[in-house]
Structure 1
Amino acid sequence: MNKKEIVYVVSDSVGETAELMVKAVASQFGENVEIKHISYVEDIKDLNNVITAAKYNNSIIAYTIVIPSLKQFLDQRAGEAGIMAIDLMNPLMEAFIQKFNTDPVRQPRLMRKLDDNYFRRVEAVEFAVKYDDGQDVRGLKHADIVLIGVSRTSKTPLSMYLAHKRFKVANVPLVPEIAPPDELFDIPKNKCVGLIITPDKLNEIRMERLKNLGLTTQANYANLDRILKELEYAEKIMKRIGCPVINVSNKAIEETADLILAMLKKRGAVLHG
């Protein structure tokens, strides 16, 4: 593929599942696939618009539609227009029908209805954003997990990843010139985790960060002596708190998150994810 190919992802709900599946497949074809997402399709008019656009762009339609009349219309019209329309849900649904010997209710958006997990996830993400990077230390006492560490130790990505697992996470940067908030020493130490990193790895990450910002790599931010000073200061704070510490130098976000949860569970922290 030399030019960008378009895939229309169509759903009678949010369409997260369909989009993730299409992205997974598209990733195998480099960066030449553009995904256009059409959610909450409710009538034939919506589908006609998608079919017209897909025909004009010579595109694929991938869909998750459970309303029989809409699915039938899309299959028929796409076939007449010579458009490839892929049903991402029906093959598995048919397997369920055969296995369980029962019919589905075929009602869209059921995953969202009364889904406590969904609302807890939203709440946790909002919490992580609000209490990111020490913005408001009042949130520390309400957090399930508190992450501390110097800049560029993955505090924010970890907070967001854990938030999607429904944990309320706050994080606090440790900077030698700024005293940590008193609230940090008031929370139970078994829900606090310190993140450390090797000086060389941190230097590499910060140098790259400066380049991406278009700044000189000679800045104090990436200076090795400065980094050593920050790390020494951070470790003193972590020892003072008595919290567990994880070296994130060569770990993926997912790996570190799993370690955090296992470590806190072992130490008796009450986790609500």
Structure 2
Amino acid sequence: MQPDDPYPPIFVVTGSLHGVGEQLVHTILAQFHGADVPVQTYFCIREMNQIELLITEAVISNALIIHTMVSPDMRQALVAMAQAQGIMAIDLAGPLMDYLSILLNREPSGQPGLYRKMHEVEFKRNEAVEFTLAHDDGVKAEEWHEADIVLLGVSRVYKTPLSVYLAMMTWKVVNVPIVMGVTPRRELFELDRRRVVGLMIDPDQLLHHRQYRQRQLGVHGRSNYVDPVKLFEELEYARKVYRRGGFATVDVTDKPIETTADEVVATVTRRLKSEA
């Protein structure tokens, strides 16, 4: 191959919906700066005719095949067909499975995607937490519609802790601050209102939370942030926003986060069913 010739592609082949091999290939390619090697991933390869088509494409493009096939039959077929056509096929899963089969004295199930199925809740939780942290405090409005739940509220109704707790329950959550005098973004009123919940709280308890927060920050003296009159006006403004959007409300006064989370989930679930 001449220096200016394009690099042959790498085909990453898997029997599941997720390409672990693809991530590994990109990680290794990153060590070869400037080598623009095309990588193409083939998911859910579970039929012989799929392998035949794949090998044909590999022959045409002189591709290198990297595979993580866990089905013994499919793996053997892929290796045999690749060898017959002079195509290099690197097996990332087979040697490890063979070793573990001897070590554990049992045969693998050969079922693609089994790890994902066994750990589905864990995967969903991680995805929900990642999404929720990336959409804290009203950022990325263009992605709000992707949330399972959208929480609204004035400052110090603990939107963020509640959002993270819900994310641990596998809900993808966006939280949006309601600020007195600031018109809410139009995206808020374009959302599925059944998934939006406005948080309310007793004014005295909110005042207590804010005063405590000020002490934590070393701030002393009066301000609009802890002015009882302004605080009441903030809550009334939030209530108007909720009414405008047709959003349900949940009162967080004197409630542990677990109880509030359960109420939020129950509220959203009920509205999704009753207003389908």
> What TM-score range do you get, normalising by the shorter chain?
0.5 to 0.7
SS in 1 for 2:242: helix
Give the equivalent residue in structure 1 for 2:61.
none
Q: Which residue of 2 aligns with 1:140?
A: 144
Task: Determine the structure 1 residue equivalent to 2:210.
Answer: 206
Contact persistence 1:210–1:217 (CA under 8 A): no
Task: Tell me which of 248, 251, 255 is aligned to 2:255.
Answer: 251
Once residues 227 and 113 of structure 1 are traced to their aligned partners in structure 2, the CA distance between those partners, rounded to angstroms, is 51
Residues of 2 paired with 1:177 and 1:136: CA distance? 21
Deviation, 1:178, is: 1.5
Deviations 1:130-181 (A, max 9, x none): 1111022122100000000101111101100000011000010000221111
Task: Report the counterpart of residue 238 of structure 1 in structure 2.
Answer: 242
Q: Which residue of 2 aligns with 1:151?
A: 155
Alpha-carbon distance in structure 2 between the residues aligned to 1:132 and 1:177: 21
Would you say the 8 A contact 1:146–1:171 is kept in 2? Answer: yes
**Which 4+ stretches in 1 moved above 4 angstroms?**
none
After superposition, what is the alpha-carbon deviation per residue over 1:212-251, rounded to whole angstroms, capped at 9, x for unaligned? 1111142221111110111010000000111111110111
Question: 1:168-187 residue pairs with structure 2 within 5 A?
Answer: 168-187=172-191
Matched letter for residue 197 of structure 1: I
Cα RMSD (Å) of the superposition?
2.1
Instruction: Please say if 1:225 is aligned against 2:229.
Output: yes
Bigger Rg, structure 1 or 2: 2
Query: Residue in 2 aligned with 1:194?
Result: 198
Answering whether residue 219 of structure 2 is matched by residue 215 of structure 1, we say yes
Contact 1:191 1:269 in 2 (8 A): no
Asked if 2 retains the 8 angstrom alpha-carbon contact of 1:207 and 1:217, the reply is: no
Pairing 1:1-273 to 2, within 5 Å after superposition: 113-114=115-116, 115-268=119-272
AA paired with 2:140?
D
Residue 269 of structure 1, CA deviation? 5.9
The amino acid across from 1:179 in the alignment is T
Q: Which moved more, 1:129-138 or 1:233-242?
A: 129-138
TM-score in terms of structure 2 length: 0.56
Please give the alpha-carbon distance, in whole angstroms, between the structure 2 residues aligned to 1:180 and 1:131: 16
Q: Secondary structure at the match of 1:148?
A: strand
Distance between the aligned counterparts of 1:269 and 1:240, measured in 2?
A: 22
Letter in 2 for 1:231: L
Gaps of 5+ in 1: 1-102, 106-111
- Distance in 2, Cα, partners of 1:154 & 1:178: 20
2:76 equivalent in structure 1: none
Question: 1:239 is aligned with what amino acid?
Answer: R
Alpha carbons of 1:269 and 1:126: their partners in 2 closer, same or farther (altered >3 Å)? farther
- The 1-side partners of 2:123 and 2:115 are apart by 10
Per-residue CA shift, 1:55-98, capped at 9, x if unaligned?
xxxxxxxxxxxxxxxxxxxxxxxxxxxxxxxxxxxxxxxxxxxx
Q: Quick one: distance in 1 between partners of 2:161 and 2:273?
A: 21
Q: 1:269 to 1:183 in 2, by over 3 A?
A: farther
